[in-house]
Structure formats: structure tokens, C-alpha cells
Amino acid sequence: MPIPDEIVGLLRTTITLKWPDGHETRYRARDLRLACRCAGCIEETSGRPLLEPSAVPENVRAKGISILGNYAMSIEWSDGHTTGIYNFRDLRGNCPCPECVGRRG
């Protein structure tokens, strides 16, 4: 599983993960906040979204980023949300850069 060498994004509009192979994955902070899969944001049994996108401010930022083991990070968001886990495999696998999007087809 890939583990980033560096994560840059505190109080920024973009969160950047720098990978050992030199690739950089950039996510808009709000896009990551909206992608949260915790039980407060996604209904556990049905997978139905519970988070209303209009409830997430356009200017939401990461106030804190913590590494969880060797597999994920958690983010303390400026809107008060703290329970999401973002695993590195998915963050790299879903990289939104044109090169990665093209490779996925």
C-alpha cells in the first residue's frame, strides 16, 4: 500500500500528497470533506449519503491532519467534523490529475 512521503494542506484550499515515486495528488479540501465515508456522513447499511453538501462551507479547511498506522489519515475539519478516515490506497487510486484519470479510462 502506498504511503505518502509528505502531506501538505493545513488551512489551505488544496491538500497535496507527495508520493515516493514523485507523483503528487492534489484534492480540493472541500472535495475531500464531501468524500468522507464515516457513519455520520454515509448511512452504514444502505450507503445512502447523510451529509448534505450545502452544509459544508466552500471555504472548509483542514485544521489538523493525523496519520493512522501506515494506511490512512484523519482530518480535523474547520467545520468541526473529525471522524473521517481517508486511506492512502484510495487517495492514490482516485487521484484526480489528468494523467491518472486518463490511465483509469
- Residue 7, pLDDT > 80, answer yes
- Whether 33 is in a domain gets the answer yes
- Residue 1, pLDDT > 80, answer no
Taking the mean position of all CA atoms in its chain, how far away is CA 69? 16
Taking the mean position of all CA atoms in its chain, how far away is CA 39? 16
- Whether 1 is in a domain gets the answer no
CATH number at residue 69: 3.30.2020.30
Buried b (16+ CB within 10 A) or exposed e, 33-61: bebbeeeebbeeeeeeeebeeeebeeebb
The range of the structural domain enclosing residue 19 comes to 6-100
Domain count, the chain: 1
21-75 pLDDT, tens digit each? 999 999 999 999 999 999 999 999 999 999 999 999 999 999 999 999 999 999 9
Read off the pLDDT of each residue in 14-24 and give the average, rounded to a whole number: 97
- Whether 92 is in a domain gets the answer yes
* pLDDT of the residue at 2: 83
